[in-house]
Structure 1
Amino acid sequence: MPTVVPISPKIRPHPVLDEDLIEALPVAVYVCNLDGLIVRYNRMAAELWGRSLGPADANMLYCGAYRLHLPDGMPLPQDRAPMVEALRSGKSFRNLEFQIEQPNGQRLSVLVNIDPLRDEDGTVVGAINCFQDVTEHKLAQEHKSRIDELNRSLQRQAEFMATVAHELRSPLAPVRNALEVMRRSSPGTDAEPMQAMIERQVDHLTRLVDDLIDGSRVTAGKIDLKMFRTDLRDIVDRGVELVRHQIEAANQELMIDVPRHPVNMVADATRLTQVLGNLLGNATKFTPIAGRIRVSLTVVDNFAVLSISDNGIGIPFERLTSIFDMFSQGEQAATRGPGGLGIGLALTKRLVQMHGGDIVAESAGCGHGSVFVCRLPMRSCREASSSTTSE
């Protein structure tokens, strides 16, 4: 037998309100009068609420669940349930997602559809809520999402290993050739050009290995900061020096705009220099010969804002977020100079976050350059602390 509580005579006859039909529906259904009191509900509604069948009581207002939550798990007060708005304004709601909590603490994900009920004059006198359990569907979606993400991760790792093998092998061939030329050369032959080339390739190999080490530390959460008072203008100078040779070799124009006064904060100067070096290295790599690169440092609302912009190849809109993922790389065909492992930007983002800041990439699309904006909180310099855990 369906659970029936006499409906207020103010509610006009409506085929949906037929008690046998309500009980036969394959979804949970309940009806509220204008005061929000639940005056009728079917067996499926009672099961999802975790209640026993029986007459509605005065505590069953707007929703019969023990508690109601938003999709993210945050509690939703009873008087803010969508049924309240439907009764107040006569508004209908479609496919709203909520979590209902049963008395035993179990939560179910439900999809809700609400329509107002009106009398002969069109006045709202109640509302009906049809909802269904989508918990298993949600779990299946989450499971599929986890599998998809795992497959993407495995694919990125496979591509990364192939990149590592290529990038580590590439500098070895010219080194080997140079050594062979030097071995066959007559005594007294000027070996300086060969030595310079070997030094460049060894430096490149060193950077690749350093990236690998830092990447593994990021993944394991083993990077610690050594925090001291520092002037961010000095960080800009040091970061520029790391890539000045590449910028000059590409005949690129570098513009630097920093305040005249000190920009002091407590930070790990070495790691922030690494951040700027990574960003400038990317800028010169993806900017054409004779292109323009600009570094600016400003202070806005107690945040230091470091911006690196260029007129290079730009970034597609769909990659503005994923470009910070580990092993993510730009279009290699468009780069100049040695490639990389796709670790630099992931490491950069993590280091910025460890300083309490954030970093975003901006671009109008391919061919329109890019801007990387890093925001760092201006922490008090009164008590500069040092984190000395080993790396």
Structure 2
Amino acid sequence: MADTRALQPKPAFSRIKYEDCHRAPIPDADHCGAQPQLPGATLISAGTAHWLPDTDRDINQDTKQTNASAAIGDRLRQAAGSPRAGQQPAARLGGHGAMLPQPVGPGDDVDALRRAQQRLRLALDGGKMGTWDIDLRSGVMACSGLCKENYGRSAAAPFTYEDLAASVHPDDVGHWRRAVTDAIESGGEFGIDYRAVWPDGSIHWMYVRGNCDRDDQGRATMLSGISLDVTERRRAQQLEQERAEAALRESQKKSEFLTILAHELRGPLGPVRGALQALKLRGDHPKEREFLRALAERQIDHMVVLIDDLLDLARVERGEIRLRCDAIDLRTPLQLGIEANTALIESRGQHFDVAGIDQPVMVMADPTRVTQMVSNLLNNASKYTPARGRIGLQLTQCDGTVEICVIDNGVGLEASALERIFNMFEQVEDQKAQAQGGLGIGLALTRQLAQLHGGTVTVHSDGIGHGCRFSLALPLMAA
């Protein structure tokens, strides 16, 4: 005969035993057949559920208060439906060995479901994704602590749907409302990036993704989803975009530089070739021969200066330039720099004035590099000053510093270009059309050489059409 003892009902728990157990309500919608009147009056022991007798259901009202969220965590739901009599209990109430009846159908694994929920929670927490649910019938929103934190609130602070809507950046309200409305009307999923304003006034980028649930009649009932603060990601993307744009600009500048370089190198070759051909034809005329020789020499000198500037700039950037400083009278390299540009200035009919060089000015400097700096400043002034314009060079001393100023009444500079003009490969747009050649490296090299001497080079302009004043400052020798 089969052993039926396991199916026999066990004695009901006494009040004392009940109060010794963990108090946690069981939803009265579980309909286990006994139809308990008091949630929480069901105790489960040794795998079988027992309902207290009616005489024991006078427990204090306090027992109706639930601590289920602390005892069992998130409720487990299954498509199998509500528990029925005879089903095995699954969820264990904290600390006392009692079991909560759960819907367990054939082949279902509640432990696997619990582990899946735990993994989901870890993923959400690790990704700092907050969860939220909005009941479209009542307008009530429930959300996780992380969701609140993503909107600048503490996890324990209240956060309603009205608070959520009010946090949307004014410029993004229309975009946000359209996304929510479309999701409700279509019943599908939605994803949106928008800006949220935190209580402290800071602006954060949010990514929200969710979906809309509908009832059997097709009416929208619930919006559910996740929210994520993506401000740092947005900043990283913006920084990366700015870097890419800057790299593109630099690439374009270098391409333009190479084009100008090719033109500058090719330019002198034409006159040199023409001079050589003329010498073949008319080399027996001494005056013409001397003229052609001088022409070729000037063009070759121009190419040498150009190539030397390129090599010097590369050496400076690699830290390979070594100054050969000595105590010198600054007037000597100044005069050499002036002579190097006399032909250019005269060819353009420009008026040139020099002031302040009647007395010796002693500095500790590399005379070759000082000549190079002065020559670059004068060459730049002549190129960006119209024909028959005015160029001046002034020498002044003040507070242990000597200042060489090159002044012109040329095209001038906008305020935004005053620093960029010293950058490598930089030629200001307003100057390009009026420049008489040039690579845009002379000023960059001049600044580098000035810094190697412990000096500075600056520029001032009152704007387009008002000329420029370049100032090269070097330390004077101690008396």
Q: How far, CA to CA, are the matches of 2:250 and 2:328 in structure 1?
A: 37
The code of the aligned residue for 2:385 comes to T
The two structures have a TM-score, normalised by structure 1, of 0.60
Q: Which of 421, 430, 435 in structure 2 is aligned with 1:335?
A: 435
Residue aligning to 1:238: 336
Asked if structure 2 preserves the Cα contact closer than 8 Å seen for 1:246 and 1:284, the reply is yes
The code of the aligned residue for 1:167 comes to E
Q: How far, CA to CA, are the matches of 2:323 and 2:231 in structure 1?
A: 45
Asked if structure 2 preserves the Cα contact closer than 8 Å seen for 1:294 and 1:309, the reply is yes
Deviation at 1:214, TM superposition (A): 1.5
Q: How far, CA to CA, are the matches of 2:256 and 2:453 in structure 1?
A: 30
**Superposition pairs of residues 60-75 of structure 1, within 5 angstroms:** none
Deviation at 1:135, TM superposition (A): 4.3
Change (3 A) 1:22 1:357: farther
Deviation at 1:351, TM superposition (A): 0.8
- Percent identity between matched residues is 37
Q: How many residues align?
A: 271
Q: How far, CA to CA, are the matches of 1:169 and 1:208 in structure 2?
A: 12
Residue aligning to 1:364: 462
Q: Which of 231, 249, 253 in structure 2 is aligned with 1:152?
A: 249
Residue aligning to 1:302: 400
Q: Quick check: 1:279 aligned with 2:377? A: yes
Q: Which of 279, 285, 293 in structure 2 is aligned with 1:182?
A: 279
- Per the alignment, in what secondary structure is the counterpart of residue 240 of structure 1? helix
Q: Quick check: 1:169 aligned with 2:266? A: yes
Deviation at 1:178, TM superposition (A): 2.4
Change (3 A) 1:21 1:298: farther
Q: Quick check: 1:25 aligned with 2:141? A: no
Deviation at 1:333, TM superposition (A): 3.6
Q: Quick check: 1:355 aligned with 2:453? A: yes
Asked if structure 2 preserves the Cα contact closer than 8 Å seen for 1:28 and 1:42, the reply is no
- Per the alignment, in what secondary structure is the counterpart of residue 307 of structure 1? strand
Change (3 A) 1:307 1:93: farther
The two structures have a TM-score, normalised by structure 2, of 0.50
Change (3 A) 1:24 1:159: closer
Asked if structure 2 preserves the Cα contact closer than 8 Å seen for 1:211 and 1:343, the reply is yes
Asked if structure 1 preserves the Cα contact closer than 8 Å seen for 2:414 and 2:463, the reply is yes
Change (3 A) 1:248 1:141: same
Change (3 A) 1:26 1:268: same
Q: Which of 402, 410, 416 in structure 2 is aligned with 1:312?
A: 410
Unaligned runs of 5+ in 2: 1-68, 70-142, 158-198, 206-228
Q: Which of 274, 282, 289 in structure 2 is aligned with 1:191?
A: 289
Q: Please say which structure displays the higher CA radius of gyration.
A: 2
- Per the alignment, in what secondary structure is the counterpart of residue 288 of structure 1? coil
Q: How far, CA to CA, are the matches of 1:224 and 1:95 in structure 2?
A: 51
Deviation digits for residues 250-306 of structure 1 (CA, Å, limit 9, x no counterpart): 332222222655433322222122111100111112222222112122223333222
The structure showing larger relative contact order (alpha-carbon pairs under 8 Å, at least 6 residues apart) is 1
Deviation at 1:322, TM superposition (A): 1.3
Residue aligning to 1:289: 387
Deviation at 1:327, TM superposition (A): 1.7
Q: How far, CA to CA, are the matches of 2:336 and 2:283 in structure 1?
A: 42
Deviation digits for residues 70-117 of structure 1 (CA, Å, limit 9, x no counterpart): xxxxxxxxxxxxxxxxxxxxxx98559xxxxxxxxxxxxx99xxxxxx
Asked if structure 2 preserves the Cα contact closer than 8 Å seen for 1:29 and 1:42, the reply is no
Asked if structure 1 preserves the Cα contact closer than 8 Å seen for 2:381 and 2:408, the reply is yes
Q: How far, CA to CA, are the matches of 2:261 and 2:295 in structure 1?
A: 21
The code of the aligned residue for 1:234 comes to T
Residue aligning to 1:248: 346
Q: Quick check: 1:324 aligned with 2:447? A: no
Q: How far, CA to CA, are the matches of 1:186 and 1:291 in structure 2?
A: 38
Q: Quick check: 1:228 aligned with 2:336? A: no
Asked if structure 2 preserves the Cα contact closer than 8 Å seen for 1:316 and 1:365, the reply is yes
Change (3 A) 1:26 1:300: farther
Asked if structure 1 preserves the Cα contact closer than 8 Å seen for 2:391 and 2:407, the reply is yes
Residue aligning to 1:141: 238
